[in-house]
Amino acid sequence: MSMFRCIAGLCTAAALLIQPARAQDSAEAAPAIAVDPVVGDYSSVQMELAAGLRLNRDGTFDYGLTVGSLDERARGRWARVGDRIELVSDPRPVAPTITASRIEQGLDNAFAIRLVAPNGRDIPGIDLRIDFDTGQPLESYVAGGPWTLPADETRRPRFVTFSKKSYRIDSGPLPLRADAGTVAIFLLTPNDFGVVDLTGAYLERDGDHLVLTRPEGKILFARADPASD
């Protein structure tokens, strides 16, 4: 929940930013600057989920969410459009990419696949799909080390596709040279890993709450109480 705490921990600073303008030293007070009442900090806490949202008075926003093993964050601009508050990520995040890296000799006569980070460590939990020269594809996942074909698989692999929807990972079909006794190594370049693109998402009022709607679903946010920070 560290990301949620980071967002919610900004509430006191936000409260200071939206205080009404003070009178000048002269007898005439400075003109009041209207602040959109939606400006402020919001939170959502559910089973295994914690999220924070800040709408800044300058038209920017900050967002963070933790649910299970997924952490995501976003920032950008917000604007009123009719009854909605529309969000635009700025800058637009760049999704992770996966590319073929190199072929190495294996320790035995089997063919294997590795997916590694720039530091050379194997990446676990990424789904993969193997397309063969004939028949139906095989779906599996890398567990943090070399992945090998089932012992009874006699077809010749032609393509591999890596994917993880929650982190916007989708390599598309990558050509596969599946020679016995070799390891095909693929490189995952993180780019803006963990940064979600909220362009097209929007907020709507539901009583005293805000509802964030995005393709993945809806999140109900309640206004945070700065006095509780």
Q: Are residues 66 and 39 in the same domain?
A: yes
Q: Do 40 and 88 sit in the same domain of this protein?
A: yes
Flag whether 28 is in a domain: no
Q: Could you tell me which residues come within 8 angstroms of residue 31 by beta carbon, excluding any fewer than 6 positions away?
A: 21
- pLDDT of the residue at 28: 54
The pLDDT confidence band at residue 11, using thresholds 50, 70 and 90, is very low
What number of helices (H) and strands (E) belong to the chain? 2, 17
In a domain, 130, yes or no: yes
Confidence of residue 226 (pLDDT cuts 50, 70, 90): low
**Assigned domain for 120 exists:** yes
Same-domain status, 75 and 103: no
Rounded distance between C-alpha atoms, residue 41 and residue 44, angstroms:
11
> Would strands 182-189 and 169-170 be described as parallel, antiparallel, or unpaired?
unpaired
**Same domain? 70 vs 119:** no
The answer to whether residues 164 and 204 belong to one domain is: no
In angstroms, rounded to a whole number, what is the distance separating the alpha carbons of residues 145 and 112? 10
What is the C-alpha separation between 109 and 105, in angstroms, rounded? Answer: 9
Asked whether the predicted pLDDT for residue 84 surpasses 60, the reply is yes
Specify if 61 maps to a domain.
yes
The more confident residue out of 201 and 3 is 201
Host domain of residue 149: 97-189
Domain contains 138 = yes
Rg of the chain over Cα atoms, rounded to whole angstroms, equals 24
102 pLDDT higher than 50: yes
| Claim to verify: residue 149 and residue 101 sit in the same structural domain | yes
Q: Could you report the per-residue pLDDT of 148-188, keeping only the tens digit for each? A: 998 899 999 999 999 998 888 999 999 999 998 999 999 99
Residue 78: give its domain's CATH number: 2.40.128.500
Q: Domain check: are 101 and 168 in the same one? A: yes
Domain assignment present for 26: no
Is the model's pLDDT at 10 over the cut of 50? Answer: no
The pLDDT score that the predictor gives to residue 224 is: 87
Contacts of 12 (CB under 8 A, 6+ apart): 226, 229
- Please check whether residue 51 lies inside any domain of the structure: yes
Q: What is the pLDDT of residues 104-138, one digit of tens each?
A: 998 788 899 999 999 999 999 999 999 999 999 99
Question: How high is the pLDDT of residue 69?
Answer: 80
User: Which phi and psi (to 5°) does residue 181 adopt?
Assistant: 80, 10
Q: Is 200 found in the same domain as 134?
A: no
pLDDT, tens digit, 9 for 90 and up, residues 19-72: 333 444 444 555 556 678 899 999 999 888 999 999 999 999 999 999 888 899
Give yes or no for residue 6 having a pLDDT over 60: no
Per-residue pLDDT at 172 = 96
Query: Is the pLDDT assigned to residue 146 strictly greater than 70?
Result: yes
Task: Give the pLDDT score at 41.
Answer: 95
Q: Structural domain tally of the chain?
A: 2
| 61 or 2, higher pLDDT | 61
186 versus 1: the higher-pLDDT residue is 186
- The pLDDT score that the predictor gives to residue 99 is 97
Q: Are residues 89 and 101 in the same domain?
A: no
C-alpha to C-alpha distance for 91 and 39, rounded to whole angstroms? 21
The candidate with the shortest Cα–Cα distance to 221, out of 44, 96, 33, 101, is 44
Tell me: do 78 and 62 sit in the same domain. Answer: yes
> How many C-beta neighbours within 10 Å does residue 211 have?
15
Cα distance between residue 76 and residue 196, in whole Å: 11
**Is 162 domain-assigned?**
yes
Q: Which strand (E) or helix (H) includes residue 135?
A: none
Per-residue model confidence (pLDDT) at position 62: 98
Q: Do both 51 and 12 map to the same domain? A: yes
**CATH assignment at residue 126:** 2.60.40
Q: Are residues 147 and 128 in contact, defined by beta-carbon separation less than 8 angstroms?
A: yes
pLDDT at residue 2 tops 50: no
Q: Please tell me whether residues 17 and 75 are part of one structural domain.
A: yes
pLDDT, residue 208, reads 83
